[in-house]
Amino acid sequence: MAAEWFVGPIMEKIINVCSDYLQEQVGWQTGMKKELERLRENHPKIQAVVFAANEAQITDQNHPINKWIWQMRDAIDEANDVLDELEYMKHKEQLSKNTEESKLKSMKKKLAKFGKRALKRDPNLKRLEEAVQKLDEVSADVTTFLLLLDSAKQEQKEQEVAFYKTRETGSLPTTNNLIGRGEAKEFVTQWLKKLSNEHRDRNISLLSIVGHGGMGKTTLLQHVYEDEITKEFFDLKMWVCVSNNFDVKKVIADMLSTLKKERPRLDESLDALQNSLRTEIMSKKFLLILDDIWEEEENRDISKWEKVLASLAYGKIGSGILVTTRMDSVATMIAKVIKKEKETFKLQGLEEDQCLQLLNSHAFADVENPNERLRSIAGEIVKKLSGSPLAAKVIGGVLNSSLDERHWTKILNSDFVSSKLGQDDIFLILRLSYMFLPKHLQNCFAFCSIFQQDYSFDKDDLVRMWIALGFIQQPHDQEWTMEDIGGMYFDVLVKKSFFDNKFGRYYKMHDLIHELAQSVSKHECLRVEDGTKLSSIIPKTLRHLSIQTTNADVKKKIGQFKYLHSLFLFVEASNQDISALIEFFKIGRSLRLLYIHASDGLKMIPEVIENLIHLRYLKIDNCNLTMLPRSLSNLYHLQYIIYHIPYFLSQRNFDDFLPSGINSLSNLRYVKLPGNCITSIHGIGKLKSLQKLNMFDLKDTSGYRIGELENMNELCKLGMNRLENIKDAEEASSARLCAKRRLTDLTLCWSNIDSRNIDLDENVLDNLQPPKCLRNLSIKRYMGARSAMWMNNVNPIFNLEKIELTECFECETLPAFGQLPFLKSLKLWNMPKVKWLESKFKGNDKYHAFPLLEVLYIYNLEALEDWFEAGVAAEDGCLFPCLIQLLIHYCAKLKELPSLPSKLKQLSIEGIGWTTLNFCSNSNPIPLQSLWVNKCPNITSLPLADEIARLAALRDLTIAMCPNLIFLGRYRQVETTNNCHLMLSYLGINDPSVLLMEPLRSNASLKELSIQHNDEVVSFPNEAEQWFLNVSSSLSELKFSFLKSLQSLPSSLESLFSLQKLYISNVPMLRELPNLPPSLERLEIWQCHPELKERYGEDGGSDRHKIAHIPHISIR
What does 935-984 look like in DSSP terms, one character per residue?
S-TT--B-TTTTTGGG-TT--EEEEES-TT--BSSSSS-----TT-----
Percent of the chain with pLDDT over 70: 81
Q: Which helix (H) or strand (E) holds 500?
A: strand 500-503
Q: Say how many residues make up the chain.
A: 1116
Q: How confident is the model at residue 171 (pLDDT cuts 50, 70, 90)?
A: low
Answer with the residue of higher pLDDT: 915 or 974: 915
d(CA 14, CA 1018): 86
Task: Enumerate the H helices of 810-874 as residue ranges.
Answer: none
Residues 727 and 626 in one domain: no
CB 322 within 8 A of CB 354: no
Asked whether residue 88 falls in the same domain as residue 201, the answer is no
> Do 899 and 878 contact (CB within 8 A), yes or no?
no
**Which of 45-49, 408-412, 459-463, 949-953 is modeled with the greatest confidence?**
459-463
Q: Is residue 897 part of a domain?
A: no
Tell me the C-alpha to C-alpha distance, in Å, between residue 708 and each of 368, 650, 712, 733: 51, 28, 8, 12
Across the chain, how many H-helices and E-strands are there? 29, 34
> Do 250 and 327 fall into the same domain?
yes
Confidence tier at 78 by pLDDT (50, 70, 90)? confident
Contact 983, 948 (CB under 8 A): no
The verdict on 736 and 787 lying in the same domain is yes
- Mean pLDDT to the nearest integer, 482-494: 92
759 and 630 in a common domain: no
The β-bridge partners of 457 are: 507
Please indicate whether residue 1095 or residue 897 has the higher confidence score (pLDDT).
1095
- Which domain range does residue 786 map to? 709-811
pLDDT at 763: 96
Instruction: Tell me the β-bridge partners of 984.
Output: none
CB atoms within 10 A of CB 597: 16
Per the domain annotation, does 226 fall within a domain?
yes
**Backbone conformation region of residue 504, classed left if phi is above 0, alpha if psi is from -120 to 50, else beta:** left
| 3-class SS shares of the chain: helix, strand, coil, % to 5 | 40, 15, 45
Higher pLDDT, 532 or 366: 366
Q: How far apart are CA 910 and CA 496, in angstroms?
A: 48
Q: Looking at the structure, do residues 476 and 552 belong to the same domain, yes or no?
A: no
Report which of 622, 718, 735, 723 is spatially closest to residue 678, judged by C-alpha positions. Answer: 718
Helix pair 123-139, 11-22: axis angle to 10 deg: 130
Do 62 and 204 lie in a common domain? Answer: no
Taking residues 703-710, what's their average pLDDT? 96
pLDDT confidence of residue 99: 46
What is the structure's pLDDT at 680? Answer: 86
- What is the rounded distance in angstroms from the CA atom of residue 785 to the CA atom of residue 793? 17
Contact of 363 with 400, CB cutoff 8 Å: yes
Determine which of 45-49, 267-271, 466-470, 1085-1089 has the lowest per-residue pLDDT on average: 45-49
Contacts 24+ apart (CB under 8 A), 934-937: 934/909, 934/910, 934/958, 934/959, 934/960, 934/961, 934/962, 935/910, 935/911, 935/960, 935/961, 935/962, 936/909, 936/910, 936/911, 936/912, 936/961, 936/962, 937/913, 937/962, 937/963, 937/964
- Residues 463, 541 within the same domain: no
The three-state DSSP-derived secondary structure of 635-687 is: CCCCCEEEEECCHHHCCCCCCCCCCHHHHHCCCCCEEECCCCHHHHCCCHHHC
Higher pLDDT, 3 or 65: 65
Does residue 313 belong to any structural domain of this protein? yes
C-alpha–C-alpha distance, residues 1112 and 1116, integer Å: 13
pLDDT over 60 (residue 3): no
Q: Does residue 733 fall inside a structural domain?
A: yes
Looking at residue 263, the DSSP 8-state letter turns out to be P
What is the rounded average pLDDT of the residues 256-264? 80
Q: Which amino acid is at 904?
A: L
pLDDT at 878: 61
DSSP code per residue over 426-489:
HHHHHHHHHHTS-HHHHHHHHHGGGS-TT--EEHHHHHHHHHHTT-SPPPSSTTS-HHHHHHHH
The arithmetic mean of pLDDT across residues 742-760, rounded, is: 89
pLDDT tens per residue across span 101-133: 455 555 555 544 544 444 345 666 777 777 777
DSSP 781: S
Task: Please check the confidence at residue 506 and state whether its pLDDT lies above 50.
Answer: yes
Give the other-Cβ count within 10 Å of 783's Cβ: 22
> Of the residues 136, 155, 174, which one is the last residue of a structural domain?
155
Instruction: Please name every residue paired with 84 in a beta bridge, in sequence order, or none if there are none.
Output: none
pLDDT of residue 840: 56
Q: Considering its fold, how many domains does the chain have in total? A: 6
Please indicate, yes or no, if residue 495 is contained in any of the structural domains.
yes
Residues 559-584 have a mean pLDDT of 81
Name the residue among 921, 909, 912 with its Cα closest to residue 950. Answer: 921
45 within a domain of the structure (yes/no): yes
- Greater confidence (385 vs 361) lies with 361
Task: Using pLDDT thresholds of 50, 70 and 90, give the confidence band for residue 558.
Answer: confident
Strands 506-508 and 457-458: antiparallel
Say whether both 192 and 338 belong to one domain.
Answer: yes
pLDDT recorded at residue 4: 55
Strands ordered across the beta sheet of 566-571: 525-529, 544-548, 566-571, 593-598, 617-621, 640-644, 670-672
Distance CA 917, CA 896 (A): 8
- Higher pLDDT residue, 333 or 883? 883
Is 27 exposed, middle or buried (CB count within 10 Å of its CB: 0-12, 13-18, 19+)? exposed
Lowest-confidence segment of 97-111, 489-503, 626-640 by average pLDDT:
97-111
CATH at residue 295: 3.40.50.300
> For residue 201, what pLDDT band results from cuts at 50, 70 and 90?
low
pLDDT at 233: 85
Indicate whether 1054 belongs to any domain.
yes
Per-residue pLDDT, 652: 72
Residue 745 confidence class, pLDDT cut points 50, 70, 90: very high
Whole-number pLDDT of residue 114: 45
Pick the closest to residue 374 from 364, 387, 361, 389 (CA basis): 364
Top mean-pLDDT range of 228-242, 290-304, 562-576, 1068-1082: 1068-1082
CATH number at residue 1074: 3.80.10.10
pLDDT digits (tens, 9 = 90+) for 388-417: 888 888 888 888 888 888 889 888 887 555
pLDDT for the residue 537: 60
Helix (H) or strand (E) holding 838: strand 836-838
pLDDT score of 85: 85
- The average pLDDT across 860-871 equals 83
Instruction: Tell me how far CA of residue 165 lies from CA of 242, 360, 448, 938, in angstroms.
Output: 11, 29, 15, 65
Query: Do residues 55 and 107 share a domain?
Result: yes
Tell me, rounded to whole angstroms, the distance of Cα 892 from its chain centroid: 40
497-508: average pLDDT: 85
Q: Residue 20: what are its φ and ψ, rounded to 5°? A: -65, -40
Average pLDDT over residues 238-261: 84
Are residues 493 and 387 part of one domain? yes
Q: Is the pLDDT of residue 301 over 80?
A: no
**Residue at 937 is within a domain:** no
Q: Is the Cα torsion angle 812, 816, 820, 824 positive or negative in sign?
A: positive
Average pLDDT, the chain: 83
Residues 359 and 505 in one domain: yes
- Residue 576, helix vs strand vs coil: helix
Mean pLDDT of 895-917: 89
Burial of 1102 (0-12, 13-18, 19+ CB in 10 A): exposed
| CA distances for 946 relative to 815, 999, 1023, 1104, angstroms | 38, 9, 23, 47
Please answer whether residues 285 and 236 qualify as being in contact, where contact means their C-beta atoms are separated by less than 8 angstroms. yes
pLDDT tens profile 791-848: 988 889 999 999 999 999 999 999 989 999 999 999 999 999 999 887 654 444 445 6
Write down which residue in 346, 363, 393 finishes a domain.
Answer: 346
How far, CA to CA in Å, does 846 sit from each of 862, 876, 900? 29, 12, 19
Checking 530-534 for CB contacts under 8 A at 24+ apart, the result is none
Residue scoring higher pLDDT (69 or 638): 638
pLDDT at 637: 96
Q: What is the mean pLDDT of residues 230-243?
A: 87
Which of 811, 836, 855 terminates a domain? The answer is 811
Angle at 1004 between CA 999 and CA 1008, to 5 degrees: 100
